[in-house]
Structure 1
Amino acid sequence: MKLPIICPSCESSLNVSQMKCNNCSTEVNGNYELPLYFKLNRDEQDFILEFFLSSGSIKEMAKQAQLSYPTMRNQMDDLIEKIKNLKTI
């Protein structure tokens, strides 16, 4: 199941308000902002994971995805820019 991050009514960012332990049923309530990573869409999260698993090698990522290095670099630059913008919100 995909974690919703955008309000379907007004399109604002959603926060976490409740978490529950599956082991002992303890519940924690509050108003917590999602970590930056979870504010990214699924493809962006996968991109970061692949970058990590390729030991930070854009060249290796491009090879595995059968894309050119400049194409992969542009995707990385776009994601970096999005993260910078999310950090300032």
Structure 2
Amino acid sequence: MKAKIPGKCPSCENTLLVTELECSACDTRVNGKYSMPLFNYLLPDEQAFILDFFKESGKLNTMAKQHKVSYPTLRNKLDDLINKVKALEKAMNSDDES
């Protein structure tokens, strides 16, 4: 299994920053403090849901059949994920202002 970049500090649960990037071809390194994409802060099953949603062009009826759940169940999952993304965006924006 491929290692995933953690989004939270395992010690204090604060947001982690990327501080170095390296090119695997020429060993060039870029140093600084960079926030990670919002997608990295989502759980693996939430990321998979978003990818499925994208690949199905947002057709929840098709996704409901594939996941063998009802449309309302899938819609609720999408609404919960939308609320989580909004909360993450708000938190990330407030971190930027600090």
Structure 1 and Structure 2 fold alike (TM over 0.5): yes
Structure 2 residue 50 is matched with structure 1 residue 48: yes
User: After the TM superposition, which parts of structure 1 deviate over 2 Å for at least 4 consecutive aligned residues?
Assistant: none
CA RMSD of aligned residues (A): 0.7
TM-score by length of 1: 0.96
Q: Distance in 1 between matches of 2:26 and 2:53?
A: 36
Give 1:2 shift: 1.4
Q: Identity of aligned pairs, percent?
A: 52
TM-score by length of 2: 0.87
In structure 1, list runs of 5 or more residues that go unmatched.
Answer: none
Equivalent runs, 1:29-48 vs 2, <5 Å: 29-48=31-50
Structure 2 residue 7 is matched with structure 1 residue 5: yes
Give 1:13 shift: 1.1
1:1-34 CA distance string (max 9 Å, x none): 1111110110011111111101101011111011
One-letter identity of the residue aligned with 1:29: N
